[in-house]
């Protein structure tokens, strides 16, 4: 019973079926009809004209987005616990050619206008200091918290005031939107986000995320960078088909809802053990090493996040019976 | 009837089946059992201990290989018509952090020790000139020619003498080996190649190539670079499964043979029109614009390579009847 | 008697004196009064508002200029014998983060609109090919030829039509202008040049070149890049003072005239031995190895440029008697 | 009366004289006799065979050193207040091609083995996290504290154990050694330092620092990187001459002693106002804005370091009478 990461979940049957349907001879790269349909389908979803590019990983999506928003000699403000800072092997620095990540604080890996200003305003405006050019937030955050549309909009207003680009890492965007009950546009383009890394791989796809550009003019250079990074798969139709299958008939949001509900069940059982409120599909639990061992002895696999703290992640395919067993086991600790 | 590129071919049913079989919960990234099996399976294939990493594109494979062999301040010798120089959107320069490609000549995009020396020896050994640190050849070449084991070994000996790394771009390695009738080792590790980009995507896979390291110590840094480039797919098992399926029961070489045979049929029909000998799955044909138009009018799609010259590429799934029709059409031109 | 390179010439006494005058306590970096005077003085010289930055080397100047004009995923057209391609140790690739140099032809290292178009038009406009974003010419060229204002303007018009940035490497700009008898503006800003590397080191300065920006908006990012490259000397006043001393009372052009006259004397003696017309301060001479040895035996030092060809360079401080001796020696060969 | 930074100090007359002596025709770049003397002279100074390269700025020296010790996909541990992190405009990231700076803590910008381990051990050893490959300390630190030979040796032992390169930023190395009364070797090569940025510009030189390589094999690639960065001045003899003049007859350490003594006089006057112990040539003083204004009204110029805190820096040329006046003014606050 695996609660290690949604990264390792299986691929949804409708995604697999869509890939099989794409198994015909067609144009290479992104000239096929699936790839060409992305702009339209995601424009429909967001209710505004967007450009959308498939990429095979979330790390690539994030790094391409930062490269589109921040010059090599600039910096991007992020939370000090952000995935871009800690878990991408230096991909942002690679793609931006060495731009700095400028670290800010906030509970549950959430930035606020105040903490962003603390970081930015401590940087003297001279050539010796790397200046902020962009900021990035993760929604849902690395600790499973959710930014509301109002919270995003407040940050977006700050970004606009300062002339910064604004990126959202949406590796768990479906979980966030499922929680918020808002439209995907309300928490992105309507709140000032310029580029969204729209995650599907943790949520039922195999190997496709979408970079969604709300701000015109950014996608063209990114198409060049995508090729230059060796990310332009020659059989792109199999990636585009995944994205389309996830968007079709709301599969993405339905899957997000299932994962959230699974996490909620665990949260209910966890009570005071919760380190953070559970707003998406991640549960951070206080547990002694002995308690962790006890859970593992019962067949539950998960991540030791920090001393006395474990992380349990649910996904679209997390078995309801497994969840019931896990909740039970936690209650009995 | 599409002869545009093997890039756009369909995925082989056995590859698709292997991917479906991998659709279970497992460890993320490359910790799964498929990924872990790669070293062993490719060591068996090459008859020596190798390390093998999956990557989603040939461009990524090539660029990672060059980054493993050439420092940012160095250069890599390649043919002036090489894919790395002309068709990868600057990926080698991105991954090597700006190392230069040092261009050499040779008929049919084939380098020889003599042409390599011409390029290298023209570079004064001082800090003002970028010095060669590696060389790369493509087998089969961009014009469908094949390097024999002896030819590769002669180049490998030169590389060893000069202390250069030696990479082979094997986007169409299967076609080359099918033509040569040698073992894959004879034309690579036994001939001095340090790293092979072992291509599968043009030959029946969907989204997986293998980087094969014959020289110990190069793979570790490449694992870091692969992650840093956003190329480490979280569900790596679906890529590893493709590579394994291609290697199983000689699917890779069987597919290569089919494609070569299809090309040979065209070649037989082409006679004096051939620009290059046909040794793999590419046919370069002299054809006037009117002749090209005549072929297109009969439903054949292909690439206008240069003035008065067209390129026809076959693949594992090229239909034999289509080939017969094409050969016939060419004869009638 | 050294004709190896103007790079190694002495520093003009007026430059040394100006540096000594700057030896007072002042603001660090470029906040001092000398550095602040650069924009004004060079605006006067060019008769238009420019921004000007000192940098310590011509290689740095060129590389910063290309980085200002060409994105990492783009390319810059240059002559295949250009200094940026062959003699800067890969600096353009370092500063541009791996942009490609796209090589074009032309006699005497001079590009023409036709040869530029030949290079550019061979590049298909797709993401697989690196696209031109800028072009750079050297005036005087690496072979001592001079672009006239009309020739520069024709190239500038092409650059403007294509939307490319346009840089001039003016390592020997003084020699070119001295030859042309035009104003410095006629052959740069009035001819469409966006950035000039205005060289002083080969012409009497010690360690200061000026980057002159004719196009607004490019200097700010370059100030950042200059710092980021470790090129922002803390005691910048000693560099600014050099530039000002060179511009004061026409020292730059006077020095250029002297060097040109010295070269002209050699050229007169050389007759049929000249490989290129002598239009600046470089003389390329046909000479057998035995003839080269004979000259060296008489105390003349110079560079073996190619088989049967030597290069002799004059500078502002080349002794007239040495020149007479050299001319005599050449006549006697 | 300028206490803003030692960066802006004048050039020592013996340095200027040495530069004037170098004003003869000689070989370009670093082939001249001054540049060739550096290895020997610095080997003498350190009592061991070293290689030494001149560079024009401390930022360039530091960034080249980090590039020699840390691959692009790695990280370098430094103090979070280190110059490399905060004051070099991103130069380390530029030269290392995006390696990360991994921040550690410590009073007065001094690292200890314990704080270094805190940072390093929090980084999981997997491809998702950037791994430490090097560490850098500043001696004297950014707050004017000094690492003793024992303190450096303890850090050096940790670096050796972990296989990390070890760099010392010695922008104020003379001040540190003057304070310590040890040999320069005791606090560098004998304590495990691999590369020293030996600073001269803050201490009487004009535009030359020395990169000193204690570990064989690192200098060759750095020579390439120096050229590639446009840092290889064609008239290098004027830089080498500065270094030689600073080392001759102990000018460097004598100048360091003078600056330290001047700071000590201020410190004696400052009493409880001192934020850090004064061990070199920097004095950090608690002062209200009104007090700061009062000092400025008397003609003293300095840097507002933080709220309620000012920085006063002395140099080799700080006037003793000015110091007396400043000490007096501080006592009267």
- pLDDT digits 0-9 by tens, A126-152: 999 999 999 999 999 999 999 999 999
CB-CB under 8 Å, D29 with B224: no
Is the pLDDT assigned to residue C25 strictly greater than 80? no
Which residues, in sequence order, are bridge partners of residue D207? none
Which chain D residues have a beta carbon less than 8 Å from that of B224? 71, 73-74, 127, 131
Is the pLDDT assigned to residue D283 strictly greater than 90? yes
pLDDT on residue A231: 98
pLDDT on residue D4: 87
Mean pLDDT, all residues of chain B: 97
pLDDT on residue C324: 96
Is the pLDDT assigned to residue B25 strictly greater than 80? no
CB-CB under 8 Å, D73 with B224: yes
* Residue with token string 């030949």: C118
Which chain C residues have a beta carbon less than 8 Å from that of A74? 224
Distances (CA, A) of A207 to A56, B261, C204, D303: 5, 33, 61, 53
CB-CB under 8 Å, A20 with B91: no
pLDDT on residue C243: 98
Nearest-CB residue to C10 (from D10, D23, D56): D23
Nearest-CB residue to B86 (from C73, C97, C129): C129
Closest C-alpha among D44, D25, D15, D59 to residue D240: D15
How far A114 CA lies from chain C's nearest CA (Å)? Answer: 27
Nearest-CB residue to C86 (from B72, B98, B129): B129
Q: Does A99 touch chain D (CB under 8 A)?
A: yes
Q: Which residues 291-330 of chain C have a CB within 8 Å of chain B?
A: none
pLDDT on residue A148: 98
pLDDT on residue A259: 97
Backbone angles phi, psi at B2, to 5 degrees: -105, 115
CB-CB under 8 Å, B87 with C73: no
pLDDT on residue A308: 94
Q: Which chains sit next to C, with 3 or more Cβ pairs under 8 A?
A: A, B, D
Is the pLDDT assigned to residue B5 strictly greater than 90? no
pLDDT on residue C239: 98
pTM of the model: 0.98
CB-CB under 8 Å, C73 with A224: yes
Is the pLDDT assigned to residue C51 strictly greater than 90? yes
pLDDT on residue B314: 96
Q: Which residues 229-258 of chain B have a CB within 8 Å of chain C?
A: none
How far C297 CA lies from chain A's nearest CA (Å)? Answer: 51
The share of chain D scoring above pLDDT 90, in percent, equals 95
How far B22 CA lies from chain C's nearest CA (Å)? Answer: 32
Least confident of A89-98, B5-14, B252-261: B5-14
pLDDT on residue C5: 87
pLDDT on residue B50: 98
> Which chain D residue shows the shortest CA-CA distance from A103?
D103
User: What is the tens place of the pLDDT at every residue in D125-154?
Assistant: 999 999 999 999 999 999 999 999 999 999
The share of chain C scoring above pLDDT 70, in percent, equals 100
User: What value does the mean pLDDT take over residues C309-321?
Assistant: 95
> Which chain B residue shows the shortest CA-CA distance from A224?
B89
pLDDT on residue D5: 87
Q: Does D100 touch chain A (CB under 8 A)?
A: yes
For chain B, give percent helix, strand, coil, nearest 5: 45, 15, 35
User: What is the tens place of the pLDDT at every residue in A190-217?
Assistant: 999 999 999 999 999 999 999 999 999 9
The share of chain D scoring above pLDDT 70, in percent, equals 100
3-class SS of residue D35: helix
pLDDT on residue C8: 83
Which chain A residues have a beta carbon less than 8 Å from that of B62? 230
> Which chain B residue shows the shortest CA-CA distance from A2?
B25
User: What is the tens place of the pLDDT at every residue in B164-185?
Assistant: 999 999 999 999 999 999 999 9
Nearest-CB residue to C224 (from D89, D201, D227): D89
User: What is the tens place of the pLDDT at every residue in A110-131?
Assistant: 999 999 999 999 999 999 999 9
CB-CB under 8 Å, D94 with A130: no
CB-CB under 8 Å, A86 with D73: no
Q: Does A94 touch chain C (CB under 8 A)?
A: no
CB-CB under 8 Å, D127 with A86: no
Q: Does D14 touch chain C (CB under 8 A)?
A: no
pLDDT on residue A51: 98
pLDDT on residue A2: 87
Per-residue confidence band for C156, with pLDDT thresholds at 50, 70 and 90: very high
- Between CA C183 and CA C192 the distance in angstroms is 14
In the DSSP assignment, the letter for residue B204 is: T
Per-residue confidence band for A262, with pLDDT thresholds at 50, 70 and 90: very high
Is the pLDDT assigned to residue C203 strictly greater than 80? yes
Is the pLDDT assigned to residue A25 strictly greater than 80? no
Q: Which residues 154-213 of chain C have a CB within 8 Å of chain A?
A: none
pLDDT on residue D107: 97
User: What value does the mean pLDDT take over residues D279-307?
Assistant: 95
CB C311 within 8 A of CB C305: yes
Q: Does A226 touch chain C (CB under 8 A)?
A: yes
Interface probe with D: pick from C6, C205, C230, most Cβ of D within 10 Å: C230
ipTM, two decimals: 0.97
User: What value does the mean pLDDT take over residues D14-39?
Assistant: 94
Instruction: Count interface pairs C-D at CB distance under 8 A.
Output: 153
Which chain C residues have a beta carbon less than 8 Å from that of D11? 23, 235, 238
pLDDT on residue C26: 81
How is residue C119 written in tokens?
């290079």
Q: Does A97 touch chain C (CB under 8 A)?
A: yes
Closest C-alpha among D275, D270, D164 to residue D215: D164
E strands, B207-258, in order: 209-213
pLDDT on residue A270: 95
Q: Which chains sit next to A, with 3 or more Cβ pairs under 8 A?
A: B, C, D
Nearest-CB residue to D94 (from A98, A128, A129): A98
CB-CB under 8 Å, C130 with B87: no
How far D87 CA lies from chain A's nearest CA (Å)? Answer: 5
pLDDT on residue D8: 83
How is residue C269 written in tokens?
């003696």
Per-residue confidence band for B103, with pLDDT thresholds at 50, 70 and 90: very high
Q: Which residues 113-142 of chain D have a CB within 8 Å of chain A?
A: 127-130
In the DSSP assignment, the letter for residue A192 is: T
Which chain C residues have a beta carbon less than 8 Å from that of A71? 221
Per-residue confidence band for C168, with pLDDT thresholds at 50, 70 and 90: very high
Tell me the three-class secondary structure of chain C, residue by residue.
Answer: CECCCHHHCCCCHHHHHHHHHCCCCCCCECCCHHHHHHHHHHHHHHCCCCEEEEECCHHHHHHHHHHHHCCCCEEEEEECCCHHHHCCCCHHHHHCCCCEEEEECCHHHCCCHHHHHHHHHCCCCCCCCCEEEEEEEECCCCCCCCCCHHHHHHHHHHHHHHCCEEEEEECCHHHHHHHHCCCCCCCCHHHCCCEEEECCHHHCCCCCEEEEECCCCCHHHHHHHHHHCCCCCCECHHHHHHHHHHHHHHHHHHHHHHHHHHHHHHHHHHHHHECCCCCCCEEEEECCHHHHHHHHHCCCECEEEECCEEEEECCCCCCHHHHHHHHHHHHHC
- Which residues lie below 8 Å from residue B227, measured CB to CB, with a gap of 6+? A59, A88, A89, A91, D127, D128
Is the pLDDT assigned to residue C106 strictly greater than 90? yes
- Between CA A314 and CA A310 the distance in angstroms is 13
- Which residues lie below 8 Å from residue C320, measured CB to CB, with a gap of 6+? C262
CB-CB under 8 Å, B94 with C93: no
pLDDT on residue A24: 87
User: What value does the mean pLDDT take over residues B309-329?
Assistant: 95
């Amino acid at each position: 019973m695996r609660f290690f990461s949604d990264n390792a979940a299986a691929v949804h049957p409708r995604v697999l079926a869509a890939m099989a349907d794409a198994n015909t001879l067609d144009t290479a790269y992104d000239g096929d009809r699936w790839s060409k349909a992305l702009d339209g389908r995601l424009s429909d979803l967001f209710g505004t004209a967007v450009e959308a590019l498939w990429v095979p990983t979330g790390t690539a999506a994030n790094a391409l987005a930062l490269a589109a928003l921040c010059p090599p000699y600039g910096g991007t403000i992020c939370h000090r616990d952000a995935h871009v800072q800690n878990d991408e092997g230096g991909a942002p620095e690679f793609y931006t050619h060495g731009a700095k990540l400028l670290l800010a604080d906030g509970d549950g890996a959430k930035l606020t206008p105040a903490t962003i200003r603390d970081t930015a305003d401590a940087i003297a405006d001279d050539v010796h200091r790397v200046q902020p050019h962009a900021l990035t937030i993760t929604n849902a955050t690395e600790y499973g918290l959710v930014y509301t549309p109002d919270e995003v909009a407040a940050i977006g207003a700050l970004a606009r005031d300062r002339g910064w680009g604004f990126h959202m890492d949406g590796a768990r965007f479906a979980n966030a939107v499922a929680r918020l009950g808002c439209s995907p546009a309300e928490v992105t383009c309507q709140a000032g986000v310029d580029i969204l890394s729209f995650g599907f791989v943790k949520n039922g796809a195999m190997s496709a995320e979408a970079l969604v550009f709300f701000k015109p003019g950014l996608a063209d250079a990114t198409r060049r960078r995508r090729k230059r990074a060796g990310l332009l798969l020659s059989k792109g139709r199999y990636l585009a088909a995944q994205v389309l299958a996830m968007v079709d008939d709301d599969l993405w949001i339905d899957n997000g809802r299932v994962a959230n509900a699974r996490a909620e069940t665990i949260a209910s059982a966890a009570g005071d053990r919760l380190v953070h409120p559970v707003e998406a599909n991640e549960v951070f639990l206080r547990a002694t090493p002995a308690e962790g061992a006890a859970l593992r002895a019962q067949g539950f696999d998960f991540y030791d996040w920090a001393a006395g703290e474990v992380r349990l992640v649910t996904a679209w395919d997390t078995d309801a019976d497994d969840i019931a067993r896990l909740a039970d086991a936690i209650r009995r600790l």
